[in-house]
């Protein structure tokens, strides 16, 4: 689905393996998905596949706040200082992405994008063509197999279920959706690259 003529639609996976990316024109890719869906791992691997690639991770930007940080701690729509800092980190992520992209790098942005944050992202990337990739593993896979130190106890499933519902409700029909439940990160990267070539 094209939004304001800026988002570049990715087609369904083709059969041709991604070719050499040495001469590929710089592009901007946004990777989203629920917490612990593998966004950072896949975004990093994806950026590495380009001759000039940058991975901008939103969580890293938020950790730059060493005093006064307000992380979202409960499932539900954030408000107050938590919402303001989420908005700020998205803004800074997009500013970095725009700067690297304009310098000739392929940029992979990595954050949880859904609901109003989807509209905020489009505002911040206004004027730039970008592709959206939605990682959508089964919620049970995320909650039971990928929690480790990130999602602990019953709260892990509560978080995963809430975010999965919000993602599928507010982002339906937007971007390239990939069920990564039974894929390795490398297989997911290959699928994204096939779509980039088919859609480019």
The whole-model pTM stands at 0.83
- Give 3 or 52, the one with higher predicted confidence: 52
Contacts of 194 by beta carbon, 8 Å cutoff, 6+ apart: 13, 14, 16, 17, 18
Instruction: Give the rounded percent of residues in the chain with a pLDDT score beyond 70.
Output: 80
* Mean pLDDT for all residues in the chain: 83
Tokens of 108: 């992979």
Ordered structural domains, the chain, with CATH: 28-199 (3.40.50.300)
Mean pLDDT of 113-140: 95
pLDDT digits (tens, 9 = 90+) for 23-37: 578 899 999 999 889
Q: Pick from 89, 71, 94, 67: which is nearest to 81 by CA?
A: 71
Task: Please tell me the predicted confidence (pLDDT) of residue 160.
Answer: 87
Q: Pick from 32, 27, 26, 20: which is nearest to 170 by CA?
A: 32
Determine contact, residues 199/24, Cβ cutoff 8 Å: no
Determine contact, residues 160/112, Cβ cutoff 8 Å: no
Residue 78: exposed, middle, or buried by beta-carbon count in 10 A (0-12, 13-18, 19+)?
A: middle
Helices 80-102 and 116-124 cross at an angle (nearest 10°) of: 30
């Amino acid at each position: 689905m094209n939004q304001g003529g800026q988002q570049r639609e990715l087609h369904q996976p083709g059969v041709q393996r991604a070719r050499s990316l040495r001469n590929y024109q710089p592009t901007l890719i946004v990777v989203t998905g629920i917490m612990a869906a593998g966004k950072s791992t896949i975004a990093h691997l994806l950026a590495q596949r380009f001759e000039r690639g940058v991975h901008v991770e939103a969580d890293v930007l938020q950790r730059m706040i060493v005093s006064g940080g307000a992380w979202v701690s409960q499932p539900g729509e954030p408000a107050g200082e938590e919402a303001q800092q989420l908005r700020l980190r998205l803004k800074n992520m997009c500013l970095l992405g725009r700067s690297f992209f304009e310098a000739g790098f392929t940029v992979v942005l990595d954050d949880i994008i859904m609901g109003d944050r989807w509209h905020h992202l489009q505002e911040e990337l206004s004027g730039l063509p970008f592709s959206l990739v939605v990682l959508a593993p089964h919620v049970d896979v995320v909650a039971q197999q990928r929690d480790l130190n990130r999602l602990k106890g019953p709260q892990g499933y509560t978080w995963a279920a809430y975010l999965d519902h919000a993602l599928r409700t507010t982002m339906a029909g937007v971007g390239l959706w990939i069920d990564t439940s039974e894929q390795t990160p490398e297989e997911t990267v290959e699928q994204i690259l096939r779509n980039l070539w088919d859609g480019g």
